[in-house]
Structure 1
Amino acid sequence: MTNPPPKLALLARALHHRNYRLFFAGQLISLIGTWMQTVAQSWLVYRLTGSAELLGLMGFASQGPVFLLATLGGVVADRFDRHRIMLITQTSAMVLAAVLAVLTLTERVQVWELFTLAALLGVSNAFDIPARQAFIVEMVGRDDLPNAIALNSSLFNGARLFGPAIAGLVVAAGGEGWCFTVNAVSYLAVIAGLLAMRRHPEPRQPSSGSVLFNIREGVAFVAGHGPIRALMLLLGIASLMGISYTVLMPIFADRILGGGAAGLGILMSASGLGALCAAMLLATRSKLHGLETWVAYGSVGFGLSLVLFSLSPWFWLSAAILVCTGFCFMVQMASSNTLIQMMVPDRYRGRTMALYSIMFIGMTPFGALLSGILAGRVGAPPTVALGGLICAAAGLLFHRHLPRLRVERQRRASETEPD
């Protein structure tokens, strides 16, 4: 009897593909800069305005374009070369970060400029995210796709672990502008990795119909696929009511827990540590069996940990709870991504991942806006607690329908052949 492969081999099997190694290395550097900019930008808005409402509005400005334009980005990803799309979007993001760095370092930055640059970056992301998600299968194939998705999540959250902590120290020592500078330079790594890839793209079937027809076709596919629809709805609830707690983190770090800018970085990194542990755990899995249950438990655990975080008056207890929060949300998000990507045919991949982006990222700005408004009226802790209770309830409802969803997923998986 053949012995099962060791966990370490399972963990790294997608890295056997050269193009994915280049992608992974470039993203490793770039995402640290991205998290540094995210934390520094939130702190800059808070420092300039002191407003919970404007913190929520900043989240809306930066991620709202994903909600509005991601379906168009999905059509573009299904019609055109995804590698070239990523080169364009990553270069655009680099230029925007450089402009923000110059404005901040010269002490000429104004709040309206922050919002404008955040919105433009959101437009870039609306095209980048569907192309990037759909491009993964081109780098590794279907067999190693679950591992590549989990490694991507590990990468994202490894950067989330270090980026915010570095940002907190840099902001405290020299100001937000240096974080934006590091982010602008970090994009060179991912652009270099994309340019170094050896590619033999397979010809695609030409798209028929108008852009609007293609969008409707993608929406109809997701709406008619019960398991994908349920996974996306659950993720949308978590993004709308739960994950927006990050928008209010400057208030928790400063007013409630007394940690200041450095404390903000530690709290964000704590959540990233939990998410990184979850992603590494998922990367060792080689089968889909049981992932639906992980999604349900992840949703319930995410919601309950948010309630506990909202009640904690101590900094380090709050940080420990956020490790659990990040772990549970990553279990839900990465498991959902894996299940969806393994169920969708390649001809719908870009549009399906665009709708996934809307649920995961596009709903977040509405949650940020809602959280900012509620926090300005009833306070940040009750706002976070309410969102956590809704996420936990949604996870319990999803778990109740698991048997039916699992049967349909297995039936559709047997019908779906690689294109």
Structure 2
Amino acid sequence: MRWWSFANLVSNTGTWMQLTVQNLLVLQITGSAAATGLSLSVQAAPGLLLGLAGGAAVDAWPRKLTAAASQAVLGAVAFTTAALVAFDQLTMPVLMVLAAVTGLIATVDGPATALLGNDLVPTKDVPSAIALGSVVHSAGRLIGVALAGVAVAGFGTAAAYAANGLSFLFVAAVIPFLRPADPANRAASTIPATPAARPKKRRSRGTGSRDGLVFFLRRPRLVALAGITAVSAVFGRNYSLTLAVLVTGPLAGGTEEFGTVATVLAVGGIAGAVIAGRMQNPSVRLVAALAATGALLQVGAGLSPSLVLLILLVVPMAVVESVSDTAGTTLLQTDPPPHMRGRVLGVWRSASTGWGLAGPPLLGLLMEFAGPRGALVAGGLVIAGTIGAGALLHTRRRDSAAPAPASAPVPELSAAA
């Protein structure tokens, strides 16, 4: 697990280095902000359309081999991009193809690496392993963004892609030496799924993918988790957009001030992941309560009269969001039976890609009509109100479904009486 965490730190650092310069690269090639958005959409499209198939593949193929192969292919794509940039041969059509390939491989790589990391610890420690992954992700983001500027200034844009390629190869080299803690997980990681573990009847080629969707929709807690996460992602959480406009607009700040806010968000995320590592059995109710709390803090952030007060609110916002996300991820990866987890993660990838694409445009429209303060306040109220309404509806359904208490038997009267 220590080796896996270190490998993921290296990989996340490389990924954030590349992401930091990727939008600038598209702008350099095209000079169009619309083209930048299009490249991101092309990369996300496979996750939206093929997430189910990617999850089914992870359940059917040996996990370690799948993760190692996907990491190697992602590394090859990064090296190809670096070479094209270095020799000034990268065109927009080629960039779109490379983005689509990256998104396609990620539909398999995401669930494979997530489940492989969970296999490395005993079942009781999976929540802690997921929390550690969140810490690694946040730390990699801070380091990667910082190193991106150094790499580009010293070696050029291609260096960020080359560094990301090396990080993928490092992870691929570590995977063969990992040993799952549970013998059952060890078997699932090294050999394909047995026929007994697969669905008994498959009438068509896509049945395996549909099994995951059917399972997901019949699992009320997973549906509730998806609803909470979706409304939170669409009307909140896009702080790189909403807080950037708030800081540089009504609060009259600049890039440096927003950089401070972004750093506080990242540090709060790390702190929240550390706190979440102590959770053993998170529930949907806990995720909902944390999401509603974060939404109310978002309302307060929207009403902040000064940058100092905003930063004081951003700290608990980031902590609550991180704990909520870690709790939700733990539920998502541990609630389904082992043979269904890849497909459930595939369903989640398709759904999360959908609301991830829908969120920024909707928030942009909301800010156009209500301004950054209005967007933060209205978004927070929508999140809290939706969660509150859902909790009330759940309580009423539970009460109506509960059996009525049996009435006391009436004593029979004797004939003489």
Fold match (TM-score > 0.5): yes
2:50 equivalent to 1:69:
yes
Number of the residue aligned with 2:350 = 358
Please say if residues 245 and 371 of structure 1, whose CA atoms lie closer than 8 Å, have aligned partners that are also in contact.
no
CA deviations on 1:143-183 (whole Å, 9 max, x unpaired) are: 22121111111211221233223335555676544332322
Please say if residues 218 and 352 of structure 1, whose CA atoms lie closer than 8 Å, have aligned partners that are also in contact.
yes
Matched residue SS, 1:284: coil
Map 1:201-280 onto structure 2 (within 5 A).
Answer: 201-202=187-188, 204-206=193-195, 207-208=198-199, 209=202, 210-246=204-240, 257-259=253-255, 267-280=261-274
Provide the aligned C-alpha RMSD in A.
Answer: 3.6
Number of the residue aligned with 2:9 = 28
2:74 equivalent to 1:82:
no
Q: Evaluate the alpha carbon distance shift between residue 341 and residue 319 of structure 1 in structure 2; reply closer, same or farther with a 3 A threshold.
A: same
Q: Evaluate the alpha carbon distance shift between residue 213 and residue 294 of structure 1 in structure 2; reply closer, same or farther with a 3 A threshold.
A: same
Identity of aligned residues (%): 26
The Cα of 1:390 is off from its aligned counterpart by: 3.3
Matched residue SS, 2:318: helix
Deviates more, 1:38-47 or 1:345-354: 38-47
2:73 equivalent to 1:92:
yes
Aligned partner letter, 1:182: A
Number of the residue aligned with 2:276 = 282
C-alpha distance in 2 between matches for 1:153 and 1:233? 22
C-alpha distance in 2 between matches for 1:315 and 1:296? 28
Of 105, 128, 137 in structure 2, the residue corresponding to residue 124 of structure 1 is: 105
Please say if residues 4 and 117 of structure 2, whose CA atoms lie closer than 8 Å, have aligned partners that are also in contact.
no
The Cα of 1:234 is off from its aligned counterpart by: 1.4
Please say if residues 76 and 165 of structure 2, whose CA atoms lie closer than 8 Å, have aligned partners that are also in contact.
yes
CA deviations on 1:327-366 (whole Å, 9 max, x unpaired) are: 2322222111212333211121111111222333453123
Number of the residue aligned with 2:288 = 296
The Cα of 1:114 is off from its aligned counterpart by: 4.2
Q: Evaluate the alpha carbon distance shift between residue 24 and residue 306 of structure 1 in structure 2; reply closer, same or farther with a 3 A threshold.
A: same
Matched residue SS, 1:363: helix
Q: Evaluate the alpha carbon distance shift between residue 129 and residue 275 of structure 1 in structure 2; reply closer, same or farther with a 3 A threshold.
A: same
Q: Evaluate the alpha carbon distance shift between residue 65 and residue 323 of structure 1 in structure 2; reply closer, same or farther with a 3 A threshold.
A: farther
Number of the residue aligned with 1:390 = 382
CA deviations on 1:111-132 (whole Å, 9 max, x unpaired) are: 5544443332211111111222
Please say if residues 298 and 380 of structure 2, whose CA atoms lie closer than 8 Å, have aligned partners that are also in contact.
yes
CA deviations on 1:76-96 (whole Å, 9 max, x unpaired) are: 011111111111211122122
Aligned partner letter, 1:259: T
Map 1:316-355 onto structure 2 (within 5 A).
Answer: 321-355=313-347
Q: Evaluate the alpha carbon distance shift between residue 110 and residue 69 of structure 1 in structure 2; reply closer, same or farther with a 3 A threshold.
A: same
Please say if residues 47 and 349 of structure 2, whose CA atoms lie closer than 8 Å, have aligned partners that are also in contact.
yes
Of 3, 12, 19 in structure 2, the residue corresponding to residue 38 of structure 1 is: 19
Deviates more, 1:248-257 or 1:89-98: 248-257
Q: Normalising by the residue count of structure 1, what TM-score does the alignment of the two structures yield? A: 0.77
Deviates more, 1:321-330 or 1:91-100: 321-330
CA deviations on 1:205-233 (whole Å, 9 max, x unpaired) are: 42242442122221111111111110122
Q: Evaluate the alpha carbon distance shift between residue 137 and residue 185 of structure 1 in structure 2; reply closer, same or farther with a 3 A threshold.
A: closer
The Cα of 1:43 is off from its aligned counterpart by: 4.1
Map 1:371-410 onto structure 2 (within 5 A).
Answer: 371=363, 386-400=378-392
Please say if residues 52 and 210 of structure 2, whose CA atoms lie closer than 8 Å, have aligned partners that are also in contact.
no
Q: Evaluate the alpha carbon distance shift between residue 63 and residue 314 of structure 1 in structure 2; reply closer, same or farther with a 3 A threshold.
A: farther
The Cα of 1:387 is off from its aligned counterpart by: 4.3
The Cα of 1:187 is off from its aligned counterpart by: 1.7
The Cα of 1:63 is off from its aligned counterpart by: 2.1
The Cα of 1:315 is off from its aligned counterpart by: 6.6
Q: Evaluate the alpha carbon distance shift between residue 297 and residue 215 of structure 1 in structure 2; reply closer, same or farther with a 3 A threshold.
A: same
Q: Evaluate the alpha carbon distance shift between residue 391 and residue 123 of structure 1 in structure 2; reply closer, same or farther with a 3 A threshold.
A: farther
Please say if residues 77 and 130 of structure 1, whose CA atoms lie closer than 8 Å, have aligned partners that are also in contact.
yes
Please say if residues 46 and 250 of structure 1, whose CA atoms lie closer than 8 Å, have aligned partners that are also in contact.
no
Please say if residues 239 and 359 of structure 1, whose CA atoms lie closer than 8 Å, have aligned partners that are also in contact.
no
C-alpha distance in 1 between matches for 2:303 and 2:34? 22
Please say if residues 257 and 313 of structure 1, whose CA atoms lie closer than 8 Å, have aligned partners that are also in contact.
no
2:177 equivalent to 1:196:
yes
Map 1:127-138 onto structure 2 (within 5 A).
Answer: 127-138=108-119
Aligned residues: 384
The Cα of 1:388 is off from its aligned counterpart by: 4.2
Q: Which runs of 5+ in 2 are unaligned?
A: 181-185, 400-417
Please say if residues 131 and 350 of structure 1, whose CA atoms lie closer than 8 Å, have aligned partners that are also in contact.
yes
C-alpha distance in 2 between matches for 1:105 and 1:308? 47
2:121 equivalent to 1:140:
yes
Q: Evaluate the alpha carbon distance shift between residue 117 and residue 380 of structure 1 in structure 2; reply closer, same or farther with a 3 A threshold.
A: farther
Q: Evaluate the alpha carbon distance shift between residue 46 and residue 69 of structure 1 in structure 2; reply closer, same or farther with a 3 A threshold.
A: same
The Cα of 1:67 is off from its aligned counterpart by: 1.4
C-alpha distance in 1 between matches for 2:378 and 2:273? 27
Aligned partner letter, 1:93: L
Q: Evaluate the alpha carbon distance shift between residue 373 and residue 197 of structure 1 in structure 2; reply closer, same or farther with a 3 A threshold.
A: same
